[in-house]
Amino acid sequence: MKLTPVLSANWDQKDLFTIDGYRRNGGYSAMKKALAMEPAAIISLIKESGLRGRGGAGFPTGLKWSFIPQGDGKPHYLVVNADESEPGTCKDMPLLLANPHVLIEGVIIASYAINSNQAFIYVRGEVVHVVRRLQQAVADAYAAGLLGKNIDGKGYDLDLVIHAGAGAYICGEETALLDSLEGFRGQPRLRPPFPAIAGLYACPTVINNVESIASVPAIINGGVAWFASMGTEKSKGFTLYSLSGHVKQPGQYEAPLGITLRELLELSGGVREGHTLKFWTPGGSSTPLFTAEHLDVPLDYEGVASAGSMLGTKALQIFDETTCIVRAVLRWSEFYQHESCGKCTPCREGTYWLVQILKDLEAGKGTEEDLDKLLDLCDNILGRAFCALGDGATSPITSSIKYFRSEYIAHLTAGQCPFDPVASTLFAGVNA
């Protein structure tokens, strides 16, 4: 399969992030087209295209837009989730650094489609240069008459606010993001009601990932048939796959949905020299781990799900045989413990105990019964909280015990971790 750069097609142009650079490449032409259409026709077009959410859940984007009630007399809001924080996920930040205007163009089209006059981009606060690029792009769009009153002379008004977060993974969860944007601690809400009915300020709200919204201008310009010519039956189009870890060329690879890791590794030069693939995440640390036996799993929503994991954010973190699975899983577990917002007891308490047990296991101090205790704890966290953070915490644990139980036991037999951490570093043998 071939790579298909669309979102990343012009990232090699040094001034792409400026409004002139973007316009030189046809920027804002899709907006002109869209503003001449009926809003309902745009929603139908996005529905027909088969675009699904690129933030992890894969919900059909056009369908989400169609849930917004029309003629209800309430303000509607579009909120872009740019709180990219899922471990391994690194696609939206380079997209926004290189091309913030494509997101703004998508925001205008999506807001017009759902009859919204106020949009927000909630961007994580730990990436100041991305915030800067977005602020400048918004200012330039206002100055060019692309935001504000009577956009492009078409009688449509839209205001857009760039809102910087302040360091909380949980705010990537859509209802926690809304609470955070309303000025509260970022804690998830119980659903229903869903944000389409009662979202920001209890008004109808669409929340979409950066990549989903940034894909909209290309679909408007390219058309449904073009978009659906890429991808698989139920997973249409192109997407950004992020390769990281023990590979020769980590980076962003834009390809049709359904490409396999084997193909991506062949294209990118493979695992680092002299080493072999041990385990990987298909879509961030919250998606159950895969191993070398999953190299040919089609990386689309259905393919990954039927192999027992989730496509997630397509964050392919690659680990070779030098990596200790227990160390890796412990570290992810510490992350979930740290980021659990504390609202739901199973997640707050459960992630704490997972870490305690894993620390002992990594030090070779536990017993084999601790593995069953871990699985039992996971059983009591999964599906028992308002949001999926706790579910995500169980993914690396249950999948690693499934594939690497013997490695956990090897820690117990040896009374310590049998791995040399230096061997797994990027600079192993260089200056270590």
Site string for other proteins, 127-166 (x = CB under 8 A): xxx-xxx-xxx-x---------------------xxxxxx
Q: Cβ of residue 63: shortest distance to other proteins, in angstroms?
A: 26
**Omega prior to 193 cis, within 30 of 0:** yes
CB nearer to other proteins: pick between 87 and 288: 87
**Structure token digits, residue 134:** 């977005």
CA 346 to chain centre: 24
CB nearer to other proteins: pick between 61 and 424: 424
Q: Is 432 in the site for other proteins (CB under 8 A)?
A: yes
Greatest pairwise CA separation for the chain in angstroms: 73
Q: Is 245 in the site for other proteins (CB under 8 A)?
A: yes
CB nearer to other proteins: pick between 232 and 268: 268
Residue from 49, 85, 395, 399 binding other proteins (CB under 8 A):
85
Q: Is 327 in the site for other proteins (CB under 8 A)?
A: yes
**Structure token digits, residue 329:** 């899983």
Q: Is 98 in the site for other proteins (CB under 8 A)?
A: yes
Q: Is 15 in the site for other proteins (CB under 8 A)?
A: yes
Query: Contact, 255 vs 270, CB < 8 A?
Result: no
Q: Is 17 in the site for other proteins (CB under 8 A)?
A: yes
CB nearer to other proteins: pick between 86 and 300: 86
Residue from 249, 306, 345, 356 binding other proteins (CB under 8 A):
249
Residue from 252, 309, 351, 395 binding other proteins (CB under 8 A):
252
Residue from 49, 268, 395, 400 binding other proteins (CB under 8 A):
268
Q: How many residues bind other proteins (CB under 8 A)?
A: 96
List the one residue out of 68, 93, 70 whose CA is nearest residue 79.
68
CA distance 42 to 417: 56
| List of long-range contacts for 366-373, beta carbons under 8 Å, 24+ apart | 366/412, 367/412, 368/409, 368/412, 371/401, 371/405, 371/408
Q: Cβ of residue 171: shortest distance to other proteins, in angstroms?
A: 8
Parallel, antiparallel, or unpaired for β 277-281 and 290-291? antiparallel
Q: Provide CB contacts within 8 A for 239, sequence distance 6+.
A: 54, 211, 254, 255, 256, 257, 314
Q: Cβ of residue 334: shortest distance to other proteins, in angstroms?
A: 9
CA distance 90 to 214: 15
Element (H, E) at 159: strand 159-164
**Structure token digits, residue 234:** 């139920």
Residue from 31, 93, 213, 389 binding other proteins (CB under 8 A):
93
CB nearer to other proteins: pick between 153 and 183: 183
Q: Provide CB contacts within 8 A for 315, sequence distance 6+.
A: 86, 87, 88, 89, 90, 91, 242, 244, 281, 283, 284
Q: Cβ of residue 164: shortest distance to other proteins, in angstroms?
A: 4
Q: Is 228 in the site for other proteins (CB under 8 A)?
A: no
Q: Cβ of residue 425: shortest distance to other proteins, in angstroms?
A: 4
Q: Cβ of residue 159: shortest distance to other proteins, in angstroms?
A: 8
CA distance 293 to 224: 35
- Looking only at residues 372 through 391 of this chain, which bind other proteins when binding is defined by CB under 8 A? none
DSSP secondary structure string, 285-313? TTSPPEEGGGTTS--SHHHHHHTTS--TT
Element (H, E) at 132: helix 128-143
Residue from 54, 56, 66, 86 binding other proteins (CB under 8 A):
86
Q: Cβ of residue 209: shortest distance to other proteins, in angstroms?
A: 13
Parallel, antiparallel, or unpaired for β 315-320 and 277-281? antiparallel
Site string for other proteins, 173-212 (x = CB under 8 A): -------xxxxxxx--------------x-----------
CA distance 344 to 331: 22
Q: Is 244 in the site for other proteins (CB under 8 A)?
A: yes
Which residues on neighbouring strands pair with residue 205, listed in sequence order?
77
Measured from the Cβ of residue 269, the count of other Cβ atoms closer than 10 Å reads 12
- Looking only at residues 100 through 129 of this chain, which bind other proteins when binding is defined by CB under 8 A? 118, 124-129
Q: Is 18 in the site for other proteins (CB under 8 A)?
A: yes
- Looking only at residues 287 through 326 of this chain, which bind other proteins when binding is defined by CB under 8 A? 315, 317, 319, 323
Q: Which segment (28-36, 238-246, 292-300, 368-376) binds other proteins by CB under 8 A?
A: 238-246
Q: Cβ of residue 226: shortest distance to other proteins, in angstroms?
A: 7
Q: Cβ of residue 412: shortest distance to other proteins, in angstroms?
A: 21
Residue from 84, 105, 263, 362 binding other proteins (CB under 8 A):
84
